[in-house]
Amino acid sequence: MQNDREILRDALRKIRWLKRPLVTVDGPCASGKTTFASCLAGILDAAVVHTDDYVVPHSMKTNERLALPGGNCDAERLMREVVTPWRGGLPVLVSRYDCHADRLLPPEALPDCGVLVLEGSYCNLPAIREAADVRFFLDTAPEIRESRLRDRESPESLQMFYERWIPLEDTYFSAFGLPDDGCIVLQDLLPPDAGFML
């Protein structure tokens, strides 16, 4: 049975072999998605897009919308701005959402690169999942995630995670059976640097 290091090396070989692959990094909050995506970007000379920049604006955060699995993600805009152009070999312009100001920031062109990493919860929504070439899912132990959240979040923010963001994620994972058989599941990735991938 392969360990995580061997699984990861095989995945990296596949990514390097593909032409303009789309790689997704999903998993629960504080599982290490952003750090892992940053390491991938350094190794693969990839651009990274964060699903946190594609949450739905306040005007769309209705009870009906949030009741939908993955409804907190503006998947329609993410597909339109990022996934579809990338798959079509076209330039990608990212308009990040500033949740504090509740507005889209001016579009920014992704740097010229051969790999795109889409990082964050909800990047396994059906349309995105079908477009992805390699899908990682970080299965980090609850106690590790809990410790990370307590280290990085204020008490008010932490309460919001418990009351809203974590239940929304859990609903999404359950509704779409994640991680599914197409995910490369990595457990408890702790090292913060790229060395553990080599």
Upper half-sphere CA count for residue 170 (Cβ side, 13 Å): 8
Note the pTM of the prediction, 2 decimals. 0.93
What residue ranges define each of the domains in the chain, with the CATH number in brackets? Answer: 4-188 (3.40.50.300)
- pLDDT tens column, 135-189: 999 999 999 999 999 999 999 999 989 998 999 999 999 999 999 999 999 987 6
**pLDDT value at 83 more than 70:** yes
Those residues whose C-beta lies under 8 Å from the C-beta of residue 51, and which sit 6 or more positions away, are 73, 78, 118, 119, 120, 121, 122, 123
196 against 99, higher pLDDT: 99
- pLDDT tens column, 1-37: 578 888 899 999 999 999 999 999 999 999 999 999 9
